[in-house]
Amino acid sequence: MRNKFLYTIWSLMLFTIILSSCIKGENEEYEYGTDASVRAFSIDTIYGKKYKFSIDMLNNRIYNADSLPYLSDTLLHHFAIDTFTVKGYVFTGDTILRTPAYTDLTKAMNGRDGIMFTVFAADGQTSKNYRLDVRVHLQDPDSLTWGQLKDVPQGFATAALGDNYKVVSNDKEVLIFSGNEQCVYHAALGNGTGYTWSKDNLNGVPENVTWSTALHFGGKFYVNTDNGEVYSSEEGVNWTKSEALSGQVKTLLVGMTKQLLAIQTIDGKDYFCHTEAEDVAWSTGTEVPAGFPTEQIQSTLTITSTGVEKATITGMPLTHEDEVVPWFTFEGNEWAALDTETMACPAMGHPTIFSLDKTFFIFGNNFEDMYYSPSALTWGKVTRRVLLPEALKGKANYSSTMDKDKFIWIVISENGNNQLWRGRLNRYGFKR
């Protein structure tokens, strides 16, 4: 009896509590949120790929960090916004936006007026205005764009460069060494839009330097003379003889990350040799095989799929008179020819090799054609995108280098009419 009485009292108390809560809930006003921020935004796929849009809460901007691909601007005149997530609702002009919403996104493209959205919070009063900016590549990222530099060093255009000169770059500057003038023109590498040039006389270097051998390695510039001596310089102006490296050096070959490679003549025979930054003398490798180029060496460094650095060079004389044969090495002691019986790169004077995005390219004197290869073994003629400047066709006596920003520099010396050209794949110049 006692238990039944307690159960009845508990039931009445519980009913009272529930009834009181219900009455209180009916009399209370519900508080709506004041959050007018954008939680997510996206547009439909472009060529099957989704591009991420960022939301700048501080400046109330919506934008894509990675630009939409080349030619996608032709699709944006009537394009879907498929995600616009907010706590309340969105107005564009005087119209509420419901996704998917089709709109002309070209109005927001590449610095134009942008498209404005007003986001209202759930309370219907709090609001924020957001601007949509859509970034689109208007250049083909895989095209090589060239331009002749007009802001050349004073006196450079008519300087007597002859054929004893070389353009070289390091992480800070691009330099043009002139043996005829015994001077160096140099400019700091910047944003690629303009350069301030200086001209300095060379100090401490003899006149019999073969400037075509000049290269950069381990924070210094190196060059060898026609009697086998080696000189080095930290900034390219003041030079000193390297006693440890001098002596029967036929030519410097390439500066790898950790090794300087060269050819040295010992007892009338040519041998590959190398030195590391902390070494004081050459280490001798194998004998240089017949057909190996020893003049006008051009090199490019790549990393293999296993993470090993690889040096690939071209030069003169040609290994075979009817084709360009690149040579490669991993450590400098031994080299191998990338020779093939089919699909070889046709013969050309002063062949220059460089690499972009795991593809090798070769061009040479007369600037007629460019050839490409994924392996530097079999070659095909480039017919579009990565092309040479039309204005250079027929010209020779040039020097070329690629700087840290992947600009290709070409210096042309032709009867006192010197030109400076620069080219780069568009994708390397796209801003994020």
Domain residue spans of the chain: 38-133
Query: Look-up: residue for tokens 């490019």?
Result: 300
Q: Which helix (H) or strand (E) holds 324?
A: strand 323-324
Q: How far apart are CA 360 and CA 21, in angstroms?
A: 78
Q: Is the peptide bond before 389 cis (omega within 30 degrees of 0)?
A: no
Q: Is 3 exposed, middle or buried (0-12, 13-18, 19+ CB in 10 A)?
A: exposed
Alpha helices in 130-285 (DSSP H): none
CA distances from 317 to 100, 110, 294, 295 (A): 65, 50, 7, 7
Q: Is 61 exposed, middle or buried (0-12, 13-18, 19+ CB in 10 A)?
A: middle
Q: Which helix (H) or strand (E) holds 38?
A: strand 38-43
Q: How far apart are CA 424 and CA 408, in angstroms?
A: 6
Q: How far apart are CA 213 and CA 110, in angstroms?
A: 45
Query: Can you say how many angstroms the Cα of residue 419 is from the centroid of all Cα atoms in its chain?
Result: 24
CA distances from 73 to 40, 107, 194 (A): 23, 11, 29
Residue type present at position 65: A
**What fold, for 38-133?**
Immunoglobulin-like (2.60.40)
Q: What is the pTM of this model?
A: 0.75
Q: How far apart are CA 184 and CA 215, in angstroms?
A: 14
pLDDT in tens, the chain (432 residues): 444 433 343 344 434 444 444 444 444 555 678 999 999 999 999 988 999 999 999 999 999 988 898 888 888 999 999 999 999 999 998 889 999 999 999 999 988 888 999 999 998 889 999 999 999 887 777 888 899 988 888 788 888 888 899 999 999 999 999 999 999 999 998 755 678 889 999 999 999 999 999 999 999 999 999 999 999 999 999 999 999 999 999 999 999 999 999 999 999 999 999 998 767 789 999 999 999 999 999 999 999 989 999 999 999 999 999 999 999 999 888 999 999 888 999 999 999 999 998 899 999 999 999 999 999 999 999 998 889 999 999 998 999 999 999 999 999 998 778 999 999 988 787 543
**Residue of 84, 101, 3 lying closest to 39 (CA atoms):** 84
Residue 162 in contact with residue 413, Cβ under 8 Å?
Answer: yes
